[in-house]
A and B are shown apart, each in its own frame.
Chain A
Amino acid sequence: MTAMMIEAEGLRKRFGATQALDGLSLAVPAGTVLGVLGPNGAGKTTAVRILTTLARPDSGSARVAGLDVVTEATEVKRNIGVTAQAATVDEVLTGRQNLVMIGRLSGLRRRDARARAVQLLERFDLTDAADRPARTYSGGMRRRLDLAAGLVMRPPVLFLDEPTTGLDPTSRVRMWNVIRGLIADGATLLLTTQYLDEADELADRIVVVDHGRSIAEGTAAELKRETGGARMEVLLTAPHPGARDALAPLVDGEIVFGEDGRHLGAPVRAAAGLTTRIVRALDDAGIEVDDVEIRQPSLDDVFFSLTGHPTEDASGSDSDPELEVTLA
């Protein structure tokens, strides 16, 4: 049996009329990354606050590094690093002063705290800004400082609550690289995100959360498979009556033609060399082709098929406008 670094059983938490968590369970084996994926208000932050001892569950239990988050909260705190959604650094202090303060409050000697601050500032590319007040930092710098603040004691378990929400694309990619570095160091990581590509990019396994409950779990590939296989989209140079027969042996369902007779699509079982075989089959039948695309289902498709509603950013730049038309 693999050791579970993070384990939650039936977590429930109510805030007034809102049932923020409604029986959430999850498990993260040591050294792996779990992506907790869900829209705003799904209960992701509440889950992180309970797992990091900042909030108490109404019922259910959770263990982090084998320690109970309610009865052994202080011990849990020694084993975790937290980066919350909102900045948790002291805005008036400089980046360096923040990191030294956290080191000191975590029990480091002054000299060790200073040395650790220097290391972290360097690692997160903040050395030039080290002696400026944190409130002068850009959004991306502040997130990196926040992340550094959670790493002062080299904790074996890390919680990152929406680490890239609100960052511009460049800062986001930079943050991803920083997080990949942490994963390479062997940390166990729980990462919440609204971004499907982010979970796909960073997590070993994904839990999809909606209305305080886990509605699906698996690797990105498993979740995609659950939603259905890949799709083939072909654009012929001109309409051709032989296209259906030529492609029939290669597809995994009905071939649908567009009104212009040139576009056709069908579900396929993704396999190596599929595009080559499609082109060859069409060529053998004397049919000219302009474009062939094998499209993997996106996690947006997964989320929609699981929840019946699109994700928060479905209308954003990441999504496929055609997909929305199809779904509507």
Chain B
Amino acid sequence: MTATTLPRGPAPPRGARLAGRVRDVAVLTTRNFTHIRREPLRLSDVTIQPILFTLLFVYVFGAGVTLPGGGSYTNYAIAGLLALNLTTSAIGTAVGLTTDLSSGVIDRFRSLAMWPAAVLVGRSIADLLTAVLCTAIVAIVGLIVGWSPSGPVLDIAAGFGVFLLFGYALSWGCACLGIVTGDSESAQNVGLIILFPLSFVSNALVATQHMPAVLRAIADWNPVSAVTAAARQLWHNPNPSAAIHAWPMQHPVLAAVLWSVVLLGVFAPLAAWLYGRRTTE
């Protein structure tokens, strides 16, 4: 065999697999941020939209809603608004991935000896960081309009942590959606069809007590409700769901973490598998 005499490119450094994967993810995360810097309006769903939603709900809905068990609607609404904003902005992951998958750049990535999953992980991390931005904006606007979390600082931080974990898990679900749908418009539309009911049939913006029985059962077991109730409990904000006997409403923090872990455990491998299938010819 003459193979050994053929000129070859440089061999990869040994024992550098993990470091290489981390580098690939970091490079692609940076790439996604460069896109955002070039096209800042892409960020409107995590910057302008949260400000708008917060003001609309606090001042328009807040004027007419009385909470079961009393309490300030503003204090009640901020956790729900975070849930709403993070849930709907997860669509960005789907749109970003479809855009990549339908452009030639994915062939370039595939022709490099890089970690293929870095395309997905880099996307999810960039989206996690924009979710942090979204969270900060809602919190700041909330504080300005009178939101007052209380309790130990660690609990308050944990409330944000539960949201970001859930948002991260959800973005992997959206990654699957992005890979399956062919183009970014379909991804956006289908995403909204799934995520709007998911965020509205919940305790995020209204107490579930007065919903019809079926909707109420769905709402009480909806992961968005668990995450929202968890944050309200951790922030010592009004949490009417505490009076509901459904297990997730009685143990919202545990339920929120479990939901997130399950979603992540299902959707991350599924996304990797779908991505592999989509990029195999």
How many of A's residues come within 8 Å of B, CB to CB?
45
Asked if B236 is at the interface (CB within 8 A of a chain A CB), the reply is: no
Of chain A, the residue at the smallest CB distance from B23 is A104
Contact of B4 with A54 in the complex, beta carbons under 8 Å: no
Binds A, one of B101-109, B184-192, B270-278: B101-109
Render A142-176 as a binary contact track against B, CB cut-off 8 A, 1 for contact. Answer: 00000001100111100000000000000000000
Q: A93-B34, A104-B23, A133-B38 are in contact. Are A153 and B9 (CB under 8 A)?
A: yes
Binds A, one of B55-63, B110-118, B139-147: B110-118
Task: Say which residue of A55, A63, A105, A150 sits within 8 Å of B109 (CB atoms).
Answer: A105
Contact of A3 with B6 in the complex, beta carbons under 8 Å: yes
Distance to closest chain A CB from B241 (angstroms): 43
Contact of B31 with A90 in the complex, beta carbons under 8 Å: yes
State which size class the interface on B falls in. 35 or more
How many CB-defined contacts (below 8 Å) exist between A and B?
109
Task: Say which residue of A53, A87, A92, A150 sits within 8 Å of B104 (CB atoms).
Answer: A87
Contact of A88 with B105 in the complex, beta carbons under 8 Å: yes
Asked if A91 is at the interface (CB within 8 A of a chain B CB), the reply is: yes
Binds B, one of A76-84, A216-224, A234-242, A289-297: A76-84
Q: A54-B281, A56-B280, A56-B281 are in contact. Are A106 and B107 (CB under 8 A)?
A: no
Which residues in A have their C-beta under 8 angstroms from that of B112? 77, 102, 105-106
Task: Say which residue of B6, B10, B23, B28 sits within 8 Å of A5 (CB atoms).
Answer: B6
Q: A52-B111, A106-B112 are in contact. Are A86 and B6 (CB under 8 A)?
A: no
A89-120 residues with Cβ-Cβ distance < 8 A to B are 89-93, 97, 101-102, 104-107
Which residues in B have their C-beta under 8 angstroms from that of A49? 281
Contact of A54 with B107 in the complex, beta carbons under 8 Å: yes
Interface centre among A1, A5, A78 (most CB of B within 10 A): A78
Contact of A53 with B114 in the complex, beta carbons under 8 Å: no
A-B contacts besides A4-B2, A79-B8, 5 pairs, CB < 8 Å: A79-B9, A82-B111, A86-B107, A105-B27, A150-B111
